[in-house]
Structure 1
Amino acid sequence: MNEDELLVRLRAAFQALDPIPEDVLAAGRSAITWRRPDAALAELADDHNRPLPAGVRGVTTRLLTFAGTELSVEIEVTGTERSNRELTGRLVPACDAHVRVRHLTYAHDVLSTRTDKAGQFVLPRVPEGLVSLEFHLSDATSVVTSWVRL
């Protein structure tokens, strides 16, 4: 028996005894389709909730800062509905960009907008869950944020 035959038998044994759940396989396939090796990564540098003043009713605000080599992204997350969030953000330094939400349950470009001249943007109805933002800049480069749970 060679290594290939051994691996085939081992895989069959594991598949029979403890098969991989279909949702795990789907998540793995989805992760590969979201991969953007040509885009620069802006990693989460700061994440904190801003408490409401005493006696004030409303939603809490979460502030996220993503830092990249050439670009930073500052985002304010507020809860607008039970399962949706509003993202208000800006690019530093300010630049023109197409902003796209990457969410596991949405197809490409379902949730997207453009920045204004000051590099600011608003995404009013982003569902909770794992989210990443992708920015297509006017110089044809792209920046993606690391994934965060809203």
Structure 2
Amino acid sequence: MNDDELLARVRAAFETLDPLPEGVLAAGRSALAWRAPSSVLAGLTGDLAGRVASGVRGGGVRALTFAAPGLIVEVEVAPTGRGREITGRLIPSAAADVHVRQPGLAPGEVTARVEAGGLFCLPRVPEGVVSLDLRFPDGTSVVTSWVRL
């Protein structure tokens, strides 16, 4: 028996005794499909959960800060029923399209345009694991690290 035959038998044993749940497999495929290898990563540098904003009913707002070289992305996440509303701004202000990346969403399903002053709003984002993809007119993009909302 060679190594390939041994690995095939081990794989068959695991598939029989402890099969991989379909949801896990689908999430893995989705994560690979959502890769953006040419994008710059904006890592999470601040997370203030439960901060209460004036005028907001039913709970606090979560403030997140992401940083990439030459860019800061500040967002506030507010609960809206089963979803979330994300409002944010880019520092420094820049023209861009913001796309929500989430395993359950089709590409381009939830998007917004950055307005004057670097402001944007995504009113209906499903709860779950989310990343933002900022696409600039020059073809470059910045993606935020994944966070659970």
Shift of 1:84: 1.5
Q: Does 1:74 align with 2:95?
A: no
Tell me which amino acid in the other structure corresponds to 2:59.
V
Q: Does 1:142 align with 2:132?
A: no
Query: CA RMSD for the aligned pairs?
Result: 1.6
Q: Does 1:47 align with 2:79?
A: no
Aligned residue for 2:106? 107
Task: Please list the CA deviations of residues 52-104 of structure 1 after superposition, one character each: whole Å capped at 9, or x if unmatched.
Answer: 38xx954311110001112110001112x221111110111110001101122
Q: How does 1:1-150 map to 2 (within 5 A)?
A: 1-52=1-52, 58-79=58-79, 81-150=80-149
User: How far apart, CA to CA, are the structure 1 residues paired with 2:103 and 2:57?
Assistant: 32
Shift of 1:49: 2.7
Q: How many residues align?
A: 147
Shift of 1:21: 1.1
Show structure 1 runs of 5+ residues with no match. Answer: none
Contact 2:130–2:146, Cα closer than 8 Å, also in 1: yes
Question: How has the CA–CA distance of structure 1 residues 89 and 3 changed in structure 2, closer, same or farther, with 3 Å as cutoff?
Answer: same
Tell me which amino acid in the other structure corresponds to 2:99.
R
SS of equivalent to 1:138? coil
Normalising by structure 2, report the TM-score.
0.92
Shift of 1:50: 5.0
Contact 2:98–2:113, Cα closer than 8 Å, also in 1: yes
Contact 2:87–2:120, Cα closer than 8 Å, also in 1: yes
Which piece of structure 1 moves more, 98-107 or 43-52?
A: 43-52
Question: How has the CA–CA distance of structure 1 residues 36 and 90 changed in structure 2, closer, same or farther, with 3 Å as cutoff?
Answer: same
Show structure 2 runs of 5+ residues with no match. Answer: none
User: How far apart, CA to CA, are the structure 2 residues paired with 1:84 and 1:70?
Assistant: 31
SS of equivalent to 1:25? helix
Tell me which amino acid in the other structure corresponds to 2:31.
A
Kindly report structure 1 stretches of 4+ aligned residues shifted beyond 2 Å: 49-53, 56-59
Identity %: 54
